[in-house]
Structure 1
Amino acid sequence: MSSGTAGQPPGRRIVLVGPMGSGKSTVGATLAGRLGIPRLDADELFASLHGPIPEYFARNGEPAFRQAEEDVIGDVLSRAEPCVLSLGGGAVLGARTRSRLAHDSHVVYLTVDEQTALERLDGGTGRPVLAGNPGRNWRRILAERHGLYREVSQWTVDTTGRTTEELAEHIARLVSEAESSSPNTGVTRP
């Protein structure tokens, strides 16, 4: 553990983006606990307002889902207090969400290899977008979104073969170093 990162809240929110199975929710929970700030999960917030995502998606269609998802995320991103926010894998598809992420957020793109992702996702069980051929569908979705994840993020962190504790420590250190080097701006995009 590096000194100064454990329990020291960041000045800005930390947002985790990446594909299904990359560890956004589990790493987010560990990181938030480590830093002593709230952990929010966009999918959980959505479900608390609108009901289960698969049902909402089936009932209202993808465009309505994406609009409602942008509204939920926008509400969190409009708040000033630091938190760790885990986004759903497709949240970066929204132009408004991508634009909002460029302000007052440390954004981390979590990557993972396909085999590990599918293991974490129990082979795609309960994930309609992976039905039929989970590996092929996961690769296709990642290919469609990879550039957007990179566009919005400051850092890319591979979660393959690493514990959530190691990942939380690494991300806390990245954020602490970024805030120490430019405390007034907090966020710079490559």
Structure 2
Amino acid sequence: MNWKLHKTVVLVGMMGAGKTAVGKALAATLDVPFLDSDAEIVSAANMSIAEIFERDGESFFRARESEVIARLLEGQPCVLSTGGGAFLAKRNREMISTHGVSVCLDASLELIWSRVRNKDTRPLLRTANPYETLRDLYDTRAGIYAMADISVEADAKYSIEDMSARVAKTLLSRPDVLERGDDA
């Protein structure tokens, strides 16, 4: 199928919501580039996000994150996965709204916990009680993620491809963002 993407699709939501996996599948479906703001930061800094947090702190990381998102939004329309905290900054939300469309992958706390509980790559969960920390983050962030232009509910029964198809179908409701091409 031929697609015409007019604006960058910026996937937002909690860590473990599926932004990277669904983003890669969606980009492949739409035949556009997939970019990941966290991967771009890691590449530029030549260190992991956890190392950046440890060495320079979260505020330094968030400033670099905003710079990277701004740069990526200037390029051709693509699918952009952002870190879980990126959408919390008002300036990032405004940039994304102006230059793209935000899509929240809305996953329940239980689903997110099932995906992140056995991973040590989440610096914000390196606490004495990671579930409680995750719950607090979830409670704090849910209202902000609800500000996204579009929200697509995640479910454990959906495969990555199912979620990608659900996002694409939802995006088709926004002809300013996505249209089927002539041969569709």
Q: Into which bin does the TM-score normalised by the smaller protein fall?
A: 0.7 to 0.9
Amino acid in structure 2 at the alignment position of 1:113 = S
Gaps of 5+ in 1: 1-5
Percent of matched pairs sharing the same residue: 33
**Paired residue for 1:70?**
66
**Of 160-169 and 23-32, the range deviating more from structure 2:** 160-169
The one of 89, 102, 107 aligned to 2:102: 107
**What is the CA-CA distance between 1:140 and the residue it aligns to?**
0.7
Q: Is the 8 A contact 1:70 1:97 kept in 2?
A: yes
| Secondary structure of residue in 2 paired with 1:106 | strand
Distance 2:132 2:2 in 1: 40
Amino acid in structure 1 at the alignment position of 2:84 = G
Q: Which has the higher contact order (CA 8 A, sep 6+)?
A: 2
**What is the CA-CA distance between 1:87 and the residue it aligns to?**
0.5
Q: Does 1:176 align with 2:172?
A: yes
Q: Does 1:133 align with 2:147?
A: no
TM-score (norm 2): 0.88
**What is the CA-CA distance between 1:93 and the residue it aligns to?**
2.4
Gaps of 5+ in 2: 179-184
RMSD: 1.7
Amino acid in structure 2 at the alignment position of 1:112 = A
**Paired residue for 2:32?**
37
Aligned ranges for residues 139-150 of structure 1 at < 5 Å? 139-150=135-146
Residue-pair matches, total: 175
| Secondary structure of residue in 2 paired with 1:102 | helix
**Paired residue for 1:11?**
6
**What is the CA-CA distance between 1:142 and the residue it aligns to?**
1.5
The one of 82, 89, 92 aligned to 2:84: 89
Amino acid in structure 1 at the alignment position of 2:17 = S
Amino acid in structure 2 at the alignment position of 1:166 = D
**Paired residue for 2:182?**
none
Q: Is the 8 A contact 2:74 2:99 kept in 1?
A: no
